[in-house]
Chains A and B, each alone.
Chain A
């Protein structure tokens, strides 16, 4: 795809090209930096005064959003004031630069830095000024070597008992059980709703948990699983049902006698939260199946079950794969639900809770970072798949 607004550039001199690059990179970095200082000063000002909270909130919102917008406007004016040649060279970097700079600062570089930190012990690499590499290299590298542990954090990730149980939970319960359950439930609801007069209401209600925070869902389900002493009335619905059928009330998520199957009670929560997502995508896919195909097969005497398995499933296979992948990525990172419900106790730890505990509670940044890298490696296949899809797309040749 060719872009518009291209100037007829006839081979600029190397010096000109070098200047252009310096200016481009400068622009990309300068805009966020100025935005930052502008906003930061505003915050210092706000913090110093003791205005009511509402005023601070409104000013902060206007200040934050307006500040960024004005900055784009000003920089664009600046670039447009140059000669058309230079405008064409620099303007794209006013548009794209800030986004790329933020990406690099908040995602790309951190990935590399986290990997670097993961090669060191508890406190990470020593906090020495980088300039020491030149002024006093021997001391710098001695300090570095003292903290360096190589890949032993990774060895720990795959041998530590707690971490192994977290990996098992992620693979067996979250990927192995939660994901297929969500996909099946979503598919079931989508198919049923498609044939019902109450489609809109039903879909809206099943979809609703998507708007609820994981912490909120934690409260909701804690209440469902609430256990009262056996002699009194159960106020939690699940225990009330169990007792009505003659069973014993339990705390379910902390019921270690059935460990590791108490994880299932956390899985239920995520299935409840995510089914709506799967349903919406499946529903759209099912509506895309040409009516004639299904009608024709019915005329030929196919039963509903046959129609479902022989026609619908193959037709929406692409969507099933997309939904499954998205939910796998989601369940790999599952954190809030587990943290709020059990804090990772009772054998319910997952990779993300272990990451949080090691990085921010035990303050073992080397080990925590190694866990984060394991998470990253786990999503790399999806990343590669996405990039392949991009290459096949017409729009970006």
Chain B
């Protein structure tokens, strides 16, 4: 069976090879900003980020004062077996593994002899993160030794705002929806079917439809630019999916358990808090992760409800404002992007199982 096992090996190599290429395609963009976020501003703007990997580059081996060895900058000069004029050397003359570069002006400049070698440009720093995270003025020491005072971008404040927005915007809709899901699943009341149909119908409604009227209501209630306003908006927009998912779970819990509790004289409220909620933890967790990531990463609702007030800006708005104002400041953008991704990535990787389950249960959201 040698050929069969050989075939198996080629197939496995092929499968894993293609998979590796795809995974790399998915990973490299993130790797790019991750690596760049640790590089100095000047380095990011002049050399590509993959230069931190070993590569062939020019390394200075010797500096020569041309006047000491009798070279005249006004005519062709010969050095290390290369003949070139001043203008050519100014731009750099290459010959195999050697490069000559004229540094400085014609009268008092020097010639650098460079050789090709394996190099890495691994001057890494945490300055970018410092500048992005802190709100106050900080001192940055550049590679050339100059010291600069810059204003921090206060991502720590934005992170705090994001948490203040995301935590209640996750828990409140779950609480309200869990009560409703229990009501729909285990209580009898007039209009039960009708209201549930409404819930399902609203699952796919795009939230754009609600923004203009909600903004008008909030203006009347003086809620624009407040955390309370955005909690309410996220609660309203999140309830259809939350109710639907939790209903699907709660309605399949074993009937006998509930009936037994009911016969024992437990009230609906007791059954709900003591029995149903603990049993529903997997479903609650699934939706919680879903909603948390959604709210944390949301930009549109925050942009419209929180508005321009810098005190309540969440991380996505902060990042987007840097993109808009200082799109070339890659040292800030890369560090800022990573700061904004940190909490969702941790939540995501630690609770991935629940997240996947929630996604499979019902993935259409408005």
Contact = CB atoms under 8 A, between A and B. Distances in A.
B226 A100 contact: no
A235 B204 contact: no
Contacts of B233: 106
A390 interface: yes
B108 interface: no
A223 B214 CA distance: 36
Interface stretch (A65-73, A167-175, A257-265): A65-73
B172 A193 contact: no
B281 interface: no
A280 to B, nearest CB: 5
Contact of A114 (B19, B185, B200, B210): B210
Given A95-B183, A224-B29, A212 B341 contact: yes
A269 to B, nearest CB: 9
B231 interface: yes
Interface centre among B23, B47, B50 (most CB of A within 10 A): B23
A365 to B, nearest CB: 6
Interface in A64-83: 64-65, 68-69, 72-73, 76, 80
B352 interface: yes
B180 to A, nearest CB: 3
A281 B330 CA distance: 36
B187 A103 contact: no
B293 A61 contact: no
Main secondary structure of the interface of A (DSSP, over half): helix
B287 interface: no
B235 A237 contact: no
B316 A99 contact: no
A48 interface: no
Find the residue from B27, B203, B204, B243 having the highest chain A CB count within 10 A: B204
Nearest to A382: B204
A245 to B, nearest CB: 16
Query: Main SS of chain B's interface residues?
Result: helix
B344 A212 contact: yes
B168 A234 contact: no
B344 A211 contact: yes
Given A98-B176, A235-B47, A369 B210 contact: no
A91 B297 CA distance: 37
B208 A355 contact: yes
Interface string A318-354: 0000100110010011011001100000000000100
Given A107-B202, A195-B15, A215 B208 contact: no
Contact of B32 (A114, A117, A237): A237
B320 interface: yes
Interface string A99-111: 1101101111111
Contact of A211 (B184, B217, B259, B345): B345
Nearest to A360: B304
A326 B364 contact: yes
A108 B364 CA distance: 17
Contacts of A6: 188
Nearest to B316: A215
A4 B264 CA distance: 13
Nearest to A207: B352
Contact of A280 (B12, B360, B366): B360
A210 B344 CA distance: 9
Contacts of B344: 211-213
Interface in B262-304: 262, 267-269, 272, 293, 296-300, 304
Contacts of B15: 192, 195-196
B179 to A, nearest CB: 5
A365 B215 CA distance: 11
Interface string B9-47: 001100110110011001111101100100000001111
A207 B232 CA distance: 30
A383 B209 CA distance: 15
B26 A205 contact: yes
A113 interface: yes
A5 B189 CA distance: 11
Nearest to A59: B164
B314 to A, nearest CB: 10
B338 to A, nearest CB: 8
Interface string B44-81: 11111110000000000000000000000000000000
B348 interface: yes
Interface string B184-228: 111111001101111111111111111111100100000000111
B360 A72 contact: no
A213 B236 contact: no
A177 to B, nearest CB: 17
Nearest to B47: A233
B333 interface: yes
**Which 4 A-B pairs give the minimum distances between C-beta atoms?**
A106-B236, A95-B183, A99-B180, A213-B297
23 contacts: A3-B185, A4-B186, A5-B262, A24-B189, A96-B179, A100-B180, A103-B199, A106-B237, A107-B210, A110-B210, A110-B212, A114-B209, A201-B23, A202-B19, A206-B23, A235-B47, A235-B330, A237-B48, A277-B363, A326-B364, A352-B300, A373-B209, A396-B196
Interface of B: 11-12, 15-16, 18-19, 22-23, 26-30, 32-33, 36, 44-50, 157, 160-161, 163-164, 167-168, 171-172, 175-177, 179-180, 182-189, 192-193, 195-214, 217, 226-228, 231-233, 235-237, 239-240, 243, 248, 251-252, 255, 258-259, 262, 267-269, 272, 293, 296-300, 304, 315-316, 319-320, 323, 327, 330, 333-334, 336-337, 340-341, 344-345, 347-349, 352, 355-356, 359-360, 363-364, 366
Interface of A: 1-6, 24, 36, 39-40, 43, 53-54, 56-57, 60-61, 64-65, 68-69, 72-73, 76, 80, 89, 91-96, 98-100, 102-103, 105-111, 113-114, 117, 124, 185, 188-189, 192-193, 195-198, 201-202, 204-216, 218-224, 226, 232-237, 240, 272, 275, 277, 280-281, 284, 304, 322, 325-326, 329, 332-333, 335-336, 339-340, 352, 355-356, 359-360, 365, 368-369, 372-373, 375-376, 379, 382-383, 386-387, 390, 395-396
Given A72-B175, A272-B29, A369-B212, 11 more contacts: A36-B232, A57-B164, A73-B269, A94-B179, A106-B235, A106-B239, A235-B330, A325-B364, A340-B299, A359-B211, A379-B204
